[in-house]
Structure 1
Amino acid sequence: MNAQPANPPESDQDALTIAPALQRYSQDLVLGELWRRPGLSPRDRSIVTVTALIARNQQSELPFYLKRALDSGVKPGELSEIIIHLAFYAGWGNAMAAAEAAQAVFAQRGIGADQLPPAEVALLPLDKEAEARRAAMVERDFGATAPGVVHYTTEALFRDLWLRPGLAPRDRSMVTVGALVAAGQVAQVTFHLNRAMDNGLSREQASEMLTQLAFHAGWPNVFSALPVFKDVFAKRPAGAAK
């Protein structure tokens, strides 16, 4: 399902009257030209945009883009999993605020609990070798510094959250990378961008994520991430995740 060009969120209409150029950019560029670019599907653009808004706790536009995400083919359960995932990668407060916004949107759309993932689910298979390498590296580097963080990174994130089946590994990685860029946390991008591309995100899609994020997280955050993306692309095996 393709998202159609839309008017700016209702909450923005009055504010835009004091900045006519902003209204023009919003309508023609952000909601028009940007969403027609071929590098990402409307569904993926919705995931990236919702991720950026939650990561930056920008609530005024979130209901509009949650609705757009649903219209673009993002399932209610996937939106629920995005919020759950971002509790760990953008903070509990941001996720709780997003859950409140989503609750109102879901009520308007008649989306009930039967369309949402339960708290306890059968997890995806664990790549034991890859996880053992990751866990050993983190334990070696930081185990003596913050053993609690290391413990929950393993048990809550990589052996639970990342294995929840309600969001495909590629999409979960895309959410993580999007949240890191939106928050200016470029130090973590190398690991997670490589993981995203291992999970099926193409180089073109990763590149176009930055274009989408430039508008929703700001040019400085994207330009801070550009050297990291460039380095990851250069070091990937030839022909991998084109």
Structure 2
Amino acid sequence: MSTSNVSSAPSMDEIRAVSPALARYTTEGLVGEVWARPELSTRDRCIVTVAALVAKAQTTLQRAYFEKALDNGVTPGELSEIVTHLAFYTGWGNALAAVAPLKAVFDARGVDQDALPAASPTLLPLDEVNESKRATTVQGLFREVAPGVVKYTTDFLFRDLWLRPGLAPRDRSLVTVSALTATTQVAQITFHLNRAMDNGLTKAEASEVFTHIAFYTGWPAVMSALPVVKDVFASRT
């Protein structure tokens, strides 16, 4: 797969030539203020942003933010896992669209397969109690409707993908919540935001995720999610 024609983000001069206002909001608002807010680390902001861009197949910005992520502590292996994870949560097409931009970054930095997670690594321990509860609930609801979905939700997602050690459970949850918000999958946020907080994401960090991602997914997507987020926060007090 060729990476020679990977599109790149426009320069600030190019943005200014089209919209001086967009350039101002970018430099003063997004870069100068939002990225500097202390409630979420720069590394976490990179993960949230990359997840949103991959989820929405926004390839023009992906290479720049893959680079930014690597510069701020996200490893090549973690980026690899994020793309893999999002194949299941936003579709194979969106994950495959991210291959060329990420490969271009890996090629430029000399990252080879030895630095990436194995296809079939030794998995993290399974939380048997909580997984049994989840599986029983899903089977009860949907076994008669779509038994294949129920099977692969258990076999591929919760007994394999979520146990891959290349991405910490907290970060995997952060990716998932970001992607669900970006794709306005509001009905799934309750489960995954609770899971994220069980995996170590604090209330303050979770709140800031939605502030940050509003700039990359648009206000309507975030405003649609906030009632669910409010209910999750209230249920955990």
Same-fold status (TM-score > 0.5): yes
Correspondence list, 1:126-205, <5 A: 126-205=126-205
**Count of aligned positions:** 230
- Using the alignment, how far apart are the partners of 1:59 and 1:15 within structure 2? 17
- 1:112 equivalent in structure 2: 112
- Using the alignment, how far apart are the partners of 2:100 and 2:136 within structure 1? 38
Residue 66 of structure 1: how far off its partner (Å): 0.5
- 1:40 equivalent in structure 2: 40
Larger mean CA deviation between 8-17 and 49-58 belongs to: 8-17
- Using the alignment, how far apart are the partners of 1:11 and 1:210 within structure 2? 26
Residue 15 of structure 1: how far off its partner (Å): 4.3
Give the letter for the 1:210 counterpart: F
Q: TM-score, normalised by structure 2?
A: 0.94
Residue deviations 1:173-202, cap 9 Å, x none? 010000000000000000000000000000
- Using the alignment, how far apart are the partners of 2:10 and 2:174 within structure 1? 28
Q: TM-score, normalised by structure 1?
A: 0.93
Confirm or deny: 8 A CA contact 2:15 2:23 kept in the other structure.
no
Confirm or deny: 8 A CA contact 1:11 1:61 kept in the other structure.
no
- 1:87 equivalent in structure 2: 87
Residue 11 of structure 1: how far off its partner (Å): 5.8
- Using the alignment, how far apart are the partners of 1:201 and 1:212 within structure 2? 15
Give the letter for the 2:230 counterpart: K
Instruction: Pick closer, same or farther for the CA change 1:13–1:93 going to 2, 3 Å.
Output: farther
Confirm or deny: 8 A CA contact 2:184 2:221 kept in the other structure.
yes
* SS of the residue 2:126 aligns to: coil
Residue deviations 1:77-119, cap 9 Å, x none? 0000000000000100100111221000111111111111110
Residue 12 of structure 1: how far off its partner (Å): 6.6
- 2:216 equivalent in structure 1: 216
Confirm or deny: 8 A CA contact 2:178 2:209 kept in the other structure.
yes
Confirm or deny: 8 A CA contact 1:54 1:98 kept in the other structure.
yes
- 2:5 equivalent in structure 1: none
Q: Identical aligned pairs, as a percentage?
A: 59
- 5+ residue gaps, structure 1, are 1-7
Confirm or deny: 8 A CA contact 1:87 1:95 kept in the other structure.
yes
Residue 10 of structure 1: how far off its partner (Å): 3.7
- Using the alignment, how far apart are the partners of 1:72 and 1:23 within structure 2? 24
- 2:71 equivalent in structure 1: 71
**Runs of 4+ off more than 2 Å:** 8-16
* SS of the residue 2:195 aligns to: helix
Give the letter for the 2:105 counterpart: V
- Using the alignment, how far apart are the partners of 1:181 and 1:22 within structure 2? 23
